Amino acid sequence: MNRPSLDELRIERRPEHAPVRTARYALWVLVAAAIVAALVYFLWPASAVEVRTAVVRETAGGDTAGASGTVLNASGYVTARRQATVSSKFTGRVTEVLIEEGMEVEEGQVLARLDDSNIRPSLALTEAQRVSAQRGAAETEALLTEAQLNLERTERLVEKQLASDAELDRARALARSLEAQLARKQADIEVAERQVDIYGQQLEDSIIRAPFAGIVVAKNAQPGEMISPVSAGGGFTRTGIGTIVDMSSLEIEIDVNEAYINRVGPGQAVAATLDAYPDWRIPCHVIAIIPTADRQRATVEVRVGFDELDPRILPDMGVKVAFQEAAGEAPDTPRAAGLSVPAAAVRRDQGRDYLLIVKEGRVERRAVATEPGPGGSVRVTSGLAPGESVVVEGPPDLADGMAVREK
């Protein structure tokens, strides 16, 4: 009978950590999947904002000009050609403000005064120095007259050999010395007068006057505040007393799409309508076409003047204009078809119109040129293609690149 060896009695043990590691790995996978599912569930619906859209429609070509005799419609703002925020020439404390909003002022009228308590003593000192220099010059002039008379007497005595040449040299030197002293003191008088002019101008600069006649539209400073021609003092220093507008210089500034600038010419008749008075048609005319184009907006600026000004016309008012064609003159180019979108789709930022286009589930912001259209619609003259979807209704914070879904 064979005896069992010690190797046959050995018990083989498998490693115990392998099943534990596999179970732990599976647990981490399940946790990660749950987190991803939760993120998708909570964040994905929020990233796709629900919006209401409208399809861009193409309008007939005959509507582009609007009313009969109108070759182009546009919109702009009333601006003042002469407008100034009046400030001081130096930094100082305001002691008096003599203007209020709506006040009419004349050219040269006093608007405000600055503290001149340091300027007046300096001006008084320079005036006293001028007087002193004038009196010193008068004294030297009297001495010079005496010296010249003495020189003449000495010369006659030398001719008669009653005085020596040394006495003549002393008389001549004294006269020349007094002449030089008088010239120097006359120069001192001129220097003193220049100093008086400097401090006198500083005293005048402490009085702020109107540069031209107009109406005060803003009062920016009060007595006791500091004012400076440049921004200083960490925001506690004012840069102007007030703003004056010359109401006789009001005009309209319009940005015309460069594709339609060929319909506008200098002197062309224009019918303007203020947004505040939609039933009041104001006769105007084209003053000038600025000879440069805006590359980003593809527009050309046009200046339009009023045939007759009215107190109801105020700066920065919104205005719609209709460029008229000359009597008996046909348009040079046919009126092309336009694109129509609901008025609610047009948004405005910094005075410029733009639309939010929906493409492949995301919003694209696009700048456009618009004209008023019939029936609550807006005609888009550039920047859009027919058949595209524009956002009509959505959250106010809707921005370029956001994911959306259409209702």
Kindly report the length of the chain. Answer: 407
Whether 130 shows a pLDDT value over 90: the answer reads yes
Alpha-carbon distances, residue 213 vs 27, 197, 209, 216, 241 (angstroms): 84, 28, 11, 10, 16
pLDDT classification of 398: cutoffs 50, 70, 90:
confident
CA distance linking residue 243 with residue 220, whole number of Å:
8
The CATH homologous superfamily of the domain defined by 70-81+249-324: Efflux pump adaptor protein, beta barrel domain (2.40.30.170)
Give first-to-last CA distance, the chain, whole Å: 92
CA distance linking residue 304 with residue 268, whole number of Å:
9
Whether 291 shows a pLDDT value over 90: the answer reads yes
Which pLDDT value is given to residue 190? 94
pLDDT classification of 63: cutoffs 50, 70, 90:
very low
Close Cβ partners of 183 (under 8 Å, ≥ 6 residues apart): none
Question: In the predicted model, what is the mean pLDDT of residues 161-179?
Answer: 89
Decide: helix, strand or coil at residue 208.
strand
Question: In the predicted model, what is the mean pLDDT of residues 380-384?
Answer: 72
pLDDT classification of 377: cutoffs 50, 70, 90:
confident
- Kindly report the average pLDDT of the chain as a whole number: 82
Q: What is the pTM of this model?
A: 0.56
- Name the least confident of 17-21, 71-75, 279-283: 17-21
Domain ranges of the chain: 48-63+337-406, 70-81+249-324, 83-115+207-245, 119-202
Whether 66 shows a pLDDT value over 50: the answer reads no
Whether 329 shows a pLDDT value over 60: the answer reads no
pLDDT classification of 8: cutoffs 50, 70, 90:
low
Close Cβ partners of 372 (under 8 Å, ≥ 6 residues apart): 66, 73, 75, 320, 378, 379
Close Cβ partners of 299 (under 8 Å, ≥ 6 residues apart): 255, 256, 257, 258, 293, 369
Which pLDDT value is given to residue 45? 47
Q: Compare 287 and 335 and report the one with higher pLDDT.
A: 287
Q: What is the per-residue pLDDT across 338-351, written as a single tens digit (0 to 9) for each?
A: 678 888 888 888 76
Torsion angle defined by CA atoms of residues 134, 138, 143 and 145, in that order, rounded to the nearest 10 degrees? 130
Whether 243 shows a pLDDT value over 70: the answer reads yes
Whether 4 shows a pLDDT value over 70: the answer reads no
CATH number of 83-115+207-245: 2.40.50.100
Q: Which is it for strands 250-257 and 70-80: parallel, antiparallel or unpaired?
A: antiparallel
Diameter over CA atoms, the chain = 181
Which pLDDT value is given to residue 336? 44
Question: In the predicted model, what is the mean pLDDT of residues 61-73?
Answer: 58
CATH number of 119-202: 1.10.287
Question: In the predicted model, what is the mean pLDDT of residues 150-177?
Answer: 88
Whether 98 shows a pLDDT value over 90: the answer reads yes
Which pLDDT value is given to residue 288? 93
Q: 285 near 254, Cβ under 8 Å?
A: no
- Name the least confident of 43-47, 180-184, 329-333: 329-333
Q: What is the per-residue pLDDT across 196-218, written as a single tens digit (0 to 9) for each?
A: 999 999 999 999 999 999 999 99
Strand order in 369-372's β-sheet?
57-58, 339-342, 377-382, 369-372
Q: 404 near 361, Cβ under 8 Å?
A: yes
Which pLDDT value is given to residue 333? 42
CA distance linking residue 64 with residue 67, whole number of Å:
9
Decide: helix, strand or coil at residue 375.
coil
Q: What angle do CA 19, 23, 27 make, to 5 degrees?
A: 170
Which pLDDT value is given to residue 62? 42
Query: Tokens representing 129?
Result: 């120095």
Residues 48-63+337-406, CATH architecture = Beta Barrel (2.40)
Which pLDDT value is given to residue 304? 95
Q: What percent of the chain has pLDDT over 90?
A: 43
Question: In the predicted model, what is the mean pLDDT of residues 150-168?
Answer: 87
Q: 136 near 188, Cβ under 8 Å?
A: yes
